[in-house]
Structure 1
Amino acid sequence: MLAEASSPAPEQDVDDASSLPALSTATVQQPSAHQPPHGRKRKRPPPTAASPAPSDPGSASGAVNPSELLSSRVDLSSRPRLSISRGPIFVPTAEGSEYHKTELIGVNRVGFRYVPAGINPPGYTLPCRTIESNPTTYRVSWEDRSPFITVTKDGLGLRGGTGFRSARCNAPIVEGRWYMEVKIMHGGGEHDSENGRREGSHVRLGWGRREAPLNGPVGLDGYSYGYRDKTGDKVTLSRPRPYGRAFGTGDVIGMYISLPPRREASKKDPHDPAHTKRERIPIDLKGQEVFEILEYPQSKEMIALMDYSAKSTSSASVPSAPKKAAGGKPERNGPSTANKTNAAPLRPLPVLHGSRIAFFVNGECQGVAFEDIYDYLQLRQSDTQRKAKERKRTREGVKEHRENPFNDGWLGYYPFISLFNDACVRLNPGPDFEFPPPNDIDALLDGKPVPEGESTARKWRPTCERYREFMAEQWALDEVEEEEAREEAARHAANEKIEAAKRAEKLKKKQQAEARKRAKLAAAEQQQRGTPVVDDEWSPSGTGMVGLGQPSPSPLRHGTTYGFNGEGDVENSYSPAPTPASFQGGQSGYNSDNMEAEMENGEERSASRAFSHDVRATYSETQSPRETNV
C-alpha cells in the first residue's frame, strides 16, 4: 500500500528524470542524548525485506487495503506527479567500472514483478497510471532481471556474476518479424584473470516468456529457447541439440523471431485466455510508486513435460507426469497408466503455428533453430479450477493479489540473455546493425535467397521500434481501466442510493411497528390497573361523546321509571340499557312492543315483579287520574 509514513520526494521535473538529485546511499547517525552505555545490549528491530512481496521475510501481508489507498489521496496530491520514473540509483561495482548495481527499485523475485507507476492528476478515479523510466528506449529492464546481473547506465551493457543468471528486455514481442544483435564482450569459456574461476565465462542467448525463471539459463524449460556459446547447440527443456557453430568473445550474434498475428479474444467466451485484463496493486516501494503484480506461474503441464523421464525428441508432445515407484524414483520405462483415474487430465499445450527462431553469427545464418514454439498465452482454466478460485473471495475492504488467467498486456517473447560467471555482452536493438541481415530472412531460411540486383522491401523490423508500440498499448489499457473504474463507481453509487432508500423504508416500518407495540403495551397496563380504555365513540349512557381513555359512566346510575299507557301497558320512560341501535333509529329489545307480544302469548313475565315500591310511588305521582284509576 502507499505508506503514509514515507516522506514524499522533493519536487522534481516530471519530464526530465536526468535532472533528479542523486540520493545518498548512506546516512550519518548523530549521537543521541539517550544513547545507552556501550556495555548494554540494545534490541535491534527485525530485518525488513527489500521487496514488499508477502512471501518475503519481514513482510506482514501482501494484501493492500484500497480504503487506505484512496483515503491517502490527500497525501498523494502533495507528491510530485511524474511522467518519468525516478529510476534506479546506480552504484559502481568497482571504482571506474562501467557496470553498476541498481538500488531503490523493485527487482522481480519470489513470484512478483514491479512496474513503475505515476500518480494520476485530480479528477481521475484510479490513483495511479503506468509511466516510463529512463532511458526511454528498448533496453534491458531494470526490474525484470536477476540482481546478480550488473548493467551499464544506458541499459545495453550486461555483466554476469557467479552461476547462470538471466535478464529480459523491457518490451515483449507478440507478433511479426523482429531482429536484434548481441555482441559478446567476454564469453565462450574464457577465464578472467582477476577471479581465476575454473569454469570460465559463458553466454546463452535466446527468447523467453514471462514464466521463464531468471535464476537459470535460457532453455532451462519449455518457456524459453536458447543458443549455447560453448558447443553451438540449441537448447530447450534443458535438452541440447546440435544446431550451429560455437561462438565466443568478439562475435556478434543476430537473434531473429517470427510470430504469427496475435489471436483476437472471442467476445462470446468470457473465459478465453486471449482477453486482456490486468491485476495489479499500486504500492509505495522505497519512495517510488510502483505496481506490484503477481507473476504468471508455471503450469503443471509444463512441469510434467520437464519431469518426463523418457525424454522424447519431439517437444510438441505432452506426456503425462511420471509415476514414482515404491523407492521414490520415477519409472524409467515411461509414465504408467495405472491409478490415474482420479488424476486431473493434462491440458494440451497450444503452439504458434508458423513461428520460428533463428540465429546469425557474424552475419552468417545458422538456419532455423526452433519452429512452432509454444503459445505465450495462459492455458485455459477448467471449470473445476475456476470454481475453486472463485470460492476464495477477498475479505471485505481488502484487496489481495489474484492469479490472472488472462493476458495483462505483458505476455509475449522477450530477448533473454543468460550470463555465466563474469561474461559480458552488449545489446544492439537497431536500427543500425554491424551485420545487417537480408530484407527477407524467411526466404533465406527457406533456402530461397534473393537474386543479386533484385531489391525487396524489408520484411522484418528492428526491436528498437517495439518499445514505442508497447508503451502506447499500456497507456491505452490505462484509459480502458479508468473508464471501467468510472462505470464501476457510478454503479456503486447507484446501488448505494438504492440500498439507502431500502434502509430508510425498513427503518420507517420498524418505527411504526414499535409505535403500535408501545400502544398495545400501554393499553394492557391500563387494563391491569382496572381503568378500561375506549375509543372516541358515543357514551353508553346516552350522554354524548366521551374522550379516548376516559371511563364511561355506568348505565344504571340514573333512576329508571316506567309508566302505563292507556291500554294497560307499561310505557318505557328510560331504557335501562340503551344500545347504539336505539340512538340510530333502531328499536331496543326493552320496548313496549316486546312486552305486549309476551302478554298476548299468555306468558307471565317477571317484569311486573321488578317494579319496586319506589317505582310505583314515582309512577302514581307522575301519571294522570285516569291512569291511576286504571
Structure 2
Amino acid sequence: MLAEGSSPPPPEQYTDDVLVQENLSVPVPTQLSTLLHQQGRKRKRAPVAASSPAPSDPGSASGNPTELISSRADLSSRPQLSISRGPVFVPTAEGSEYYKTDLIGVNRVGFRYVPAGINPPGYTQPCRTIESNPTTFRVSWEDRSPFITVTKDGLGLQGGTGFRSARCNAPIVEGRWYMEVKVVHGGGEHLVDGRREGSHVRLGWGRREAPLNGPVGLDGYSYGYRDKTGDKVTLSRPRPYGRPFGTGDVIGMYISLPPRREANKKDPLDPAHIKRERIPIDLKGQEVFEILEYPQSKEMTSLMDYSGKSTNFSSVPSAPKKSAAGKLPERGGPMNTTKSNAAPLRSLPTLADSRIAFFVNGECQGVAFQDIYDYLQLRQSDTSRKAKEKKRTREGVKEHRENPFNDGTLGYYPFISLFNDACVRLNPGPDFDFPPPPDIDALLTGKPSEATERNWRPTCERYSEFMAEQWALDALEEEEARADASRAAAAEKVEAAKRAERNKKRQQAEARKRAKLAVAEQQRATPAIDDDRFSPMSAMVGFGQPSPLRHGTIYDAGEGSVDHSYSPAPTFISNGDFQGGQSGYNSDAMEPDEIGEDHGSAVRSSSYLTLPQSTHSASRSPQESASLDLPRPE
C-alpha cells in the first residue's frame, strides 16, 4: 500500500513484449489484473523514465503488485493521500528541461479533472480535494493542452505545433493582482526545423470556457496581448495597443476585478450560488474528480459573427457537394431557421470598474480592456430549466449534469498561449524583475496617488487562498451530506414503520381468510343428518311430524316397524279414485285365504281410509294412532 503523498508505481513490462500502454482508457489496476490473468507470468519491472515531484515511497519499489491490485477493489483499502501521486514526467528529448506529464487526467473537450483523495472512515463523502506537487502557484498539470510541455516546477512552458494554451492553477475572482512572464523564445525570431512562422507568444487572462486548443483572445472568454504586433485581441479582433515584444522581454500582467457579488438567498436561480457537480472516478490509478466543463453560451458565440447579418439565417454552401447518385441538391436560397418559440438572447453582464493592463520591461502599456465580461454563468431560463428537470438519471447511476451555478472555480486565470516552439517562464512573485508602482490603478487612470504601500498582490498569494476555499467547500458538502443522510434515515425509519404496519394488516387479513376457509372446509367434511326433522318440509308441517310425501314411498311393515295407517295421506274421497287399487294393498288383490286370515285388519284399514280425518290426527304420533281402539263397521 502506498504511503501518503507517494509516487505512482513505475511503468510495468511483461514477458513476451506485453507492455502497459500509455494513456489507457480504463483504470490501470483493472488493466493490470486483466493482463496478469491472461499471461499468468511474473512481471518484470522496467527502469523509471523520470521521477515524480511527489515524495517517493520506500516500499513501492519492493511492494507486492498483487496487494496493490487487490486494494483497488475496495475503496476503504486505498491509500488516503493528501498529495496527488502524479504526474510522472517524461522528457521530450534527452537532456531537455521540458517534460510531458503522464498518469494525470488532462482536460479534454467538455470535461476537466481535479485531483481527489479518499476520505478517512467516518466521512459521508467518499473523496475530498487534494493538492499536487509543487503546492504553489504555477501552471496546472491538468488544465492545459497536452501539446504544452512543462518544467518540473510548473513555471516553464514550451509550445508545439500550432497555437496551444494553458491555464494556471488558481483563478482571480476579486481584487488587484500582478505577475510577470519572461519570454524565452518568441516574437517570431526563433526558427526551428526551417519553419517560416517562427515562435510566437500571446499572454492574457481567460475564463473556464476559453478553449485550450487555440490562442488567448480567440473568443469573448479571454483577453490577450500579441507579441508580433503588440495588438490587444479578443473575439479574434486585434486592435492597436502597445509595443511588440519578443525574446528576452518581461511582460507584466495586471488585472483588477470588483468585489465578488454575493448570491441572493431569496433567489434560488441566482448564478452566484455555490454548487458543485463532480463525480469521483479512478483514472489511471489515481482518484480524480471528473467535472462537466462549463459550455459556451449562444449569446457569446453570437458575438463572433463577422457578417453582420442576422444569426437566424444560414446560407446554402457556395460549392455544394454531389450526392451519391450524382445529382446536385436543389437550391432554394437562404433557409429561414427562425423558430417562433425560440428564447430571446440573454444580456451579457460585465464587471464594472474592471481593468486589464500589460507592462513590457516595466513600462506600462495602458489599459488594454476594461469593464470585461462577468465570469459567472448566465441566468438559466425557465424553458431550459424545465427541459432539464424532465430528464431523469438512471437508477443507481450518477450522471453528469450541467451546472448553471458557480462551483468555486470560476474566475479569470492567467492564460498562456504558445505557437510552435515558443518558450516562456512564469514569475508569480513576490519578487519581480520590474516591480510596478504601489498604486497601478492610479497610473492607469492618470490620477495622482500618494500611496506608499502597494494596493495590489502578487499572484503567488492566490494559491493558498484558493485551496482554503476548496477545502471549505469540501467541509460544507460533508455537512450537507450528513444532513441529507440523517433526513434519509428518518424518512426510511418512517417508511419502515409504515411497511411494518401494512405487513401486520396483511397478515391479519390473511389469517382471517385462512380461518374462514378452515370453517368452510370443516362444514364440507361433516356428513349430512338424514332425519325428517331437519327437512325443509318439517318447518311447514311442524317439528316432529312425518313428511306428507311418505305416501309415494313403499314401507316394509315388518316386525318392529311403525304402523303408518293413520298417515295423513290423501284418500280416494279427496282425489276421486280408489286408493286400494293403486297401492296394491286392497282386498281384491289378495288371495281368498289371505282375505280370511286378515279380514279384520283389512276392514279396519279400509274403513279408516273412508273416515274423515280427525282434526287432532296431525298432532298424534304413529304409536298413539296404533293404540286407538276404533269401532269396527257393521
TM range (shorter): 0.7 to 0.9
Provide closer, same or farther for how the CA distance between residues 199 and 338 of structure 1 changes in structure 2, counting only shifts above 3 A: closer
Q: Which letter does structure 2 place at the counterpart of 1:494?
A: A
Listed as ranges, the matches of 1:224-239 within 5 Å are 224-239=222-237
- Does residue 284 in structure 1 map to residue 282 in structure 2? yes
Name 1:325's counterpart in structure 2: 315
Q: Does the 8 A contact of 2:115 with 2:289 survive in 1?
A: yes
Q: Does the 8 A contact of 2:312 with 2:337 survive in 1?
A: no
Secondary structure in 1 matching 2:255: strand
Determine the C-alpha separation between the residues in 1 that align with 2:212 and 2:361.
27
Q: Which letter does structure 2 place at the counterpart of 1:94?
A: A
Give, in angstroms, the shift of residue 283 of structure 1: 1.0
Name 1:57's counterpart in structure 2: none
- Does residue 460 in structure 1 map to residue 445 in structure 2? no
- Give ranges in structure 2 of 5+ residues lacking alignment: 28-70, 320-333, 535-541, 546-612, 630-634
Name 1:503's counterpart in structure 2: 499
Q: Does the 8 A contact of 2:202 with 2:226 survive in 1?
A: yes
Give, in angstroms, the shift of residue 380 of structure 1: 0.9
Give, in angstroms, the shift of residue 498 of structure 1: 1.6
Listed as ranges, the matches of 1:262-301 within 5 Å are 262-301=260-299
Once the two structures are superposed, what CA deviation does each residue of 1:37-61 show, in whole Å capped at 9, x if it has no partner? xxxxxxx99x9964569xxxxxxxx
Once the two structures are superposed, what CA deviation does each residue of 1:141-191 show, in whole Å capped at 9, x if it has no partner? 000000000000000000000000000000000001100000000000113
Listed as ranges, the matches of 1:6-405 within 5 Å are 10-12=1-3, 14=4, 17=5, 20=6, 23-25=9-11, 27-31=12-16, 50=24, 75-192=74-191, 194-310=192-308, 321-327=311-317, 339=338, 341-405=340-404
Provide closer, same or farther for how the CA distance between residues 74 and 285 of structure 1 changes in structure 2, counting only shifts above 3 A: closer
Q: Does the 8 A contact of 2:439 with 2:451 survive in 1?
A: no
Give, in angstroms, the shift of residue 304 of structure 1: 1.5
Secondary structure in 1 matching 2:618: coil
Secondary structure in 1 matching 2:14: coil
Once the two structures are superposed, what CA deviation does each residue of 1:368-422 show, in whole Å capped at 9, x if it has no partner? 1111111111111111101111111111111111111111100000000000000
Q: Which letter does structure 2 place at the counterpart of 1:30?
A: T
Determine the C-alpha separation between the residues in 2 that align with 1:123 and 1:513.
44
- Does residue 477 in structure 1 map to residue 473 in structure 2? yes
Name 1:556's counterpart in structure 2: 533
Determine the C-alpha separation between the residues in 2 that align with 1:52 and 1:387.
35
Name 1:427's counterpart in structure 2: 426
Once the two structures are superposed, what CA deviation does each residue of 1:90-122 show, in whole Å capped at 9, x if it has no partner? 111111111111011000002111111111111
Provide closer, same or farther for how the CA distance between residues 552 and 436 of structure 1 changes in structure 2, counting only shifts above 3 A: farther
Instruction: Give the structure-2-normalised TM-score.
Output: 0.73
Q: Which letter does structure 1 place at the counterpart of 2:484?
A: E
Provide closer, same or farther for how the CA distance between residues 337 and 350 of structure 1 changes in structure 2, counting only shifts above 3 A: farther
Determine the C-alpha separation between the residues in 1 that align with 2:406 and 2:522.
74
Once the two structures are superposed, what CA deviation does each residue of 1:482-503 show, in whole Å capped at 9, x if it has no partner? 0111111111111221222222
Determine the C-alpha separation between the residues in 1 that align with 2:502 and 2:627.
67
Determine the C-alpha separation between the residues in 2 that align with 1:382 and 1:114.
28
Once the two structures are superposed, what CA deviation does each residue of 1:306-342 show, in whole Å capped at 9, x if it has no partner? 135229xxxxxxxx6352235579xxxxx99994533
Secondary structure in 2 matching 1:116: strand
Secondary structure in 1 matching 2:314: coil
Give, in angstroms, the shift of residue 285 of structure 1: 1.2
Q: Which letter does structure 1 place at the counterpart of 2:304?
A: M
C-alpha RMSD of matched pairs (Å):
3.1
Determine the C-alpha separation between the residues in 2 that align with 1:226 and 1:355.
15
Q: Does the 8 A contact of 1:204 with 1:218 survive in 2?
A: yes
Determine the C-alpha separation between the residues in 1 that align with 2:362 and 2:448.
14
Determine the C-alpha separation between the residues in 2 that align with 1:107 and 1:511.
59
Q: Does the 8 A contact of 1:164 with 1:216 survive in 2?
A: yes
Give, in angstroms, the shift of residue 354 of structure 1: 1.0
Determine the C-alpha separation between the residues in 1 that align with 2:384 and 2:335.
25
Provide closer, same or farther for how the CA distance between residues 217 and 491 of structure 1 changes in structure 2, counting only shifts above 3 A: same
Give, in angstroms, the shift of residue 11 of structure 1: 2.5
Secondary structure in 1 matching 2:74: helix
Determine the C-alpha separation between the residues in 2 that align with 1:154 and 1:530.
95
Give, in angstroms, the shift of residue 266 of structure 1: 0.8
Name 2:509's counterpart in structure 1: 513
Secondary structure in 2 matching 1:502: helix
Q: Does the 8 A contact of 2:164 with 2:214 survive in 1?
A: yes
Q: Which letter does structure 2 place at the counterpart of 1:490?
A: S
Once the two structures are superposed, what CA deviation does each residue of 1:208-256 show, in whole Å capped at 9, x if it has no partner? 0000000000000000000000100100000111111100001110100
Provide closer, same or farther for how the CA distance between residues 553 and 504 of structure 1 changes in structure 2, counting only shifts above 3 A: farther
Give, in angstroms, the shift of residue 290 of structure 1: 0.8
Give, in angstroms, the shift of residue 552 of structure 1: 8.5
Secondary structure in 2 matching 1:517: helix
Name 2:604's counterpart in structure 1: none
Greater helix content: 2
Secondary structure in 1 matching 2:100: strand
Q: Does the 8 A contact of 1:51 with 1:106 survive in 2?
A: no
Secondary structure in 2 matching 1:254: strand
Q: Which letter does structure 2 place at the counterpart of 1:156?
A: L
Q: Which letter does structure 2 place at the counterpart of 1:556?
A: R
Q: Which letter does structure 2 place at the counterpart of 1:477?
A: L
Q: Which letter does structure 2 place at the counterpart of 1:427?
A: L
Structure 1 residues 141-150 or 278-287, which shifts more? Answer: 278-287
Determine the C-alpha separation between the residues in 1 that align with 2:287 and 2:144.
19
Structure 1 residues 354-363 or 509-518, which shifts more? Answer: 509-518
Determine the C-alpha separation between the residues in 2 that align with 1:86 and 1:233.
41
The structure that has the greater radius of gyration is: 2
Provide closer, same or farther for how the CA distance between residues 410 and 616 of structure 1 changes in structure 2, counting only shifts above 3 A: same
Give, in angstroms, the shift of residue 525 of structure 1: 4.7
Of 617, 620, 633, which residue of structure 2 is paired with 1:609? 617
Give, in angstroms, the shift of residue 518 of structure 1: 3.2
Determine the C-alpha separation between the residues in 2 that align with 1:282 and 1:326.
45
Of 479, 482, 488, which residue of structure 2 is paired with 1:486? 482
Q: Which letter does structure 1 place at the counterpart of 2:503?
A: L
Name 2:568's counterpart in structure 1: none
- Give ranges in structure 1 of 5+ residues lacking alignment: 1-9, 36-43, 54-71, 312-319, 330-334, 533-550, 558-573, 578-604, 622-630
Provide closer, same or farther for how the CA distance between residues 98 and 606 of structure 1 changes in structure 2, counting only shifts above 3 A: farther
Name 1:626's counterpart in structure 2: none
Name 2:573's counterpart in structure 1: none
Q: Which letter does structure 2 place at the counterpart of 1:466?
A: R
Determine the C-alpha separation between the residues in 2 that align with 1:250 and 1:576.
134
Give, in angstroms, the shift of residue 526 of structure 1: 5.2
* Identical-residue share of aligned pairs (%): 77
Name 1:601's counterpart in structure 2: none
Determine the C-alpha separation between the residues in 1 that align with 2:460 and 2:356.
18
Q: Does the 8 A contact of 2:178 with 2:459 survive in 1?
A: yes
